[in-house]
């Protein structure tokens, strides 16, 4: 069972995949958001460089049903840096201040292409971004990736 609802009770619920302290609500959609639409070559493409504060906030609020989205970043996670000192002294665990990019992109209506690489050149006229890293060597912004 992955749906938990509680108003004022303080019961802890544990399962093989999930541990929850109420009054939080976790639903099946949070764990398994369902199938995503494929990227559509007829739609415009948004390329997001990096996954810092601005990019993460943008991705969370973006309704990508009308766009193809490509994320290019050398890291596959967002680090909430203001809490980093708390991790070093043992107040928090490192996993508490890191949010994987795949979690954000997995909860979108349309598939998001994510490249773990560094952008070395951006050509807005040619609509290309040249990347170096662990992913493909070159991605075109006007064509869906994947």
pLDDT, tens only, 38-92: 888 899 999 999 989 999 999 999 988 889 999 999 998 999 889 999 999 999 9
Give the predicted TM-score (pTM) of the model.
Answer: 0.68
pLDDT tens by residue, 78-114: 998 899 999 999 999 988 898 888 888 888 889 999 9
* pLDDT on residue 134: 64
- Does the pLDDT of residue 20 top 90, yes or no? no
Which class for 2: exposed (0-12), middle (13-18), buried (19 or more C-beta within 10 A)?
middle
* pLDDT on residue 91: 92
List domains and CATH numbers for the chain.
1-32 (no CATH), 33-140 (3.50.50.60)
**Which SS3 state, helix, strand or coil, does residue 133 take?**
strand
* pLDDT on residue 13: 45
- Does the pLDDT of residue 28 top 70, yes or no? no
3 pLDDT band (50/70/90 cuts)? very low
Distances (CA, A) of 86 to 56, 75, 95: 22, 22, 12
**Residue listed under structure tokens 């665990």:** 93
140 pLDDT band (50/70/90 cuts)? very low
Q: Which comes out higher in pLDDT, residue 21 or 51? A: 51
**Which SS3 state, helix, strand or coil, does residue 105 take?**
helix
């Amino acid at each position: 069972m992955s749906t938990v609802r509680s108003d004022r009770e303080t019961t802890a619920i544990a399962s093989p995949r999930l541990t929850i302290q109420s009054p939080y609500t976790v639903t099946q959609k949070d764990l398994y958001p369902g199938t995503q639409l494929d990227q559509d070559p007829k739609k415009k493409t948004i390329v997001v460089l990096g996954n810092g504060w601005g990019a993460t906030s943008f991705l969370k609020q973006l309704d990508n049903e009308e766009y193809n989205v490509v994320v290019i970043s050398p890291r596959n996670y967002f680090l909430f840096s203001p809490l980093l000192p708390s991790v070093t002294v043992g107040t928090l665990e490192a996993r508490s201040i890191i949010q994987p990019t795949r979690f954000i992109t997995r909860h979108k209506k349309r598939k998001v292409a994510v490249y773990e690489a560094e952008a070395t050149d951006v050509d807005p006229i040619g609509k290309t971004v040249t990347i170096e890293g662990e992913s493909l060597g070159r991605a075109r912004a006007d064509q869906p990736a994947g």
